[in-house]
Amino acid sequence: MTVNGSPVEEAVEPRLLLSDFLRQMLGLTGTHVGCEQGVCGACTVRLDGRTARACLTFAVQAEGSEIVTVEGLGTAEALSPLQEAFREHHALQCGFCTPGMLMTALDLLETRPGATDAELREGLSGNLCRCTGYEHIVAAVRAAAERLAREGKREGPP
């Protein structure tokens, strides 16, 4: 498979989850594991251009696929527009939900760039956050969408 643009080849047990493959074999610990049953969204990654729950996907199911994790957005030194908006709008507290929120928000920015706040809330409703009350997250995604539209850019590494 390809992970964040780099080819990856490993032999794994058929039962290994994609979330464990990313975290334990590739060291990409930005993909978080909360519920491990598809409810919380913390493990959300991009699989062939669509969001996917890494805790509900076997690594072998991703054979030949293109995976993007939160590490494929910006870096601590060079935040992506979405990450920058999360920082500016205080859209995280403990940060546990944040990687999954960012990956879901990435999909929203691409598929529904002019989304209303109600549509953003619906789009983010599969990702649970126990800290923020969601207001700042919605504000951050809206701000990122407005900035990207203004600058004619796409979300991703600067």
Query: Distance (Å, rounded) from C-alpha 43 to C-alpha 96?
Result: 10
Does 153 sit near ligand FES (CB under 6 A)? no
Does 129 sit near ligand FES (CB under 6 A)? yes
Reduce the DSSP state of residue 77 to 3 states and report it: coil
- Which of 8, 29, 36, 107 is close enough to bind ligand FES by CB under 6 A? 36
CB of 47 to ligand FES, least distance (A): 13
Termini Cα distance of the chain: 24
Does 67 sit near ligand FES (CB under 6 A)? no
Q: Report H helices in the chain.
A: 18-20, 81-88, 98-111, 117-124, 135-151
- Give the nearer residue to ligand FES in terms of CB position, either 59 or 153: 59
Does 30 sit near ligand FES (CB under 6 A)? no
Does 42 sit near ligand FES (CB under 6 A)? yes
* Closest among 138, 139, 110 to 125, alpha carbons compared: 138
Does 156 sit near ligand FES (CB under 6 A)? no
- Give the nearer residue to ligand FES in terms of CB position, either 5 or 133: 133
**Cα radius of gyration rounded to whole Å, the chain:** 15
CB of 114 to ligand FES, least distance (A): 26
Buried b (16+ CB within 10 A) or exposed e, 43-60: bbbbbeeebbbbbebbbe
Query: Distance (Å, rounded) from C-alpha 36 to C-alpha 19?
Result: 9
Does 16 sit near ligand FES (CB under 6 A)? no
CB of 94 to ligand FES, least distance (A): 3
Residues that bind ligand FES (CB under 6 A): 33-36, 38-43, 53, 55, 92-97, 129-132
